[in-house]
Amino acid sequence: MFKTMVVGTDGSATAREAVRQAAELAAALGASVHVVSAYEPIPESRLRIERQQAPEDIEWAINPREEVNAVLDDAAALIKQKGAEVFLHPREGDAADAILDVAEEVGADLIVVGNKGMTGAKRFLLGSVPNKVSHHAPCSVLIIRTT
């Protein structure tokens, strides 16, 4: 059935629920989970200023993807806790494109995404990431209802 899953996260409550459910499904099926989180590039001038203001012993940690690394680490901890194998993929750029790219690269059987919390009249519409992923995925897609 599903042996290789991809789940996207930005650290939001919706994404955490998608990660949780992907972890449970992966553990039940003996599947591995590839967690993807996208980030926007940070101008080098801003990074330089932040490094100058930081204590010497942590200057090395200030980089364009430091926040996304924390998001990925949190997701990895949850997935490991459920007993599934996990791989992390920080990617620069658009979230949907990052998820789709990783799914193709790893030969995913399933992509798991949250529905982005649409409510009211918008409940019939998906957020932009699940919408794009569902229309362009190279495999099955599971959209987790988180609202």
107: left (phi over 0), alpha (psi -120 to 50) or beta: left
Torsions phi, psi for 134 (to 5 deg): -65, -30
Tell me the percentage of the chain whose pLDDT exceeds 70.
74
The reported pLDDT for the residue numbered 53 is 66
Model-level pTM? 0.80
Q: Are 109 and 99 in contact (CB under 8 A)?
A: no
Which helix (H) or strand (E) covers residue 82, if one does?
Answer: helix 66-82
What is the rounded CA–CA span in Å between residue 31 and residue 81? Answer: 14
Torsions phi, psi for 5 (to 5 deg): -115, 150
For the segment 123-138, what is each residue's pLDDT rounded down to a tens digit?
444 568 888 999 999 9
The reported pLDDT for the residue numbered 144 is 92
C-alpha distances in angstroms, 3 versus 30, 54, 67, 107?
A: 7, 43, 29, 10
The reported pLDDT for the residue numbered 115 is 85
For the segment 64-120, what is each residue's pLDDT rounded down to a tens digit?
456 788 899 999 999 999 999 999 999 988 899 999 999 999 999 999 998 874 333
Tokens 């930005």 identify what position?
10
Domains of the chain: 23-107+125-144 (3.40.50.620)
Q: In the chain, where do the E strands start and end?
A: 4-8, 32-39, 85-92, 110-114, 140-144
The reported pLDDT for the residue numbered 52 is 66
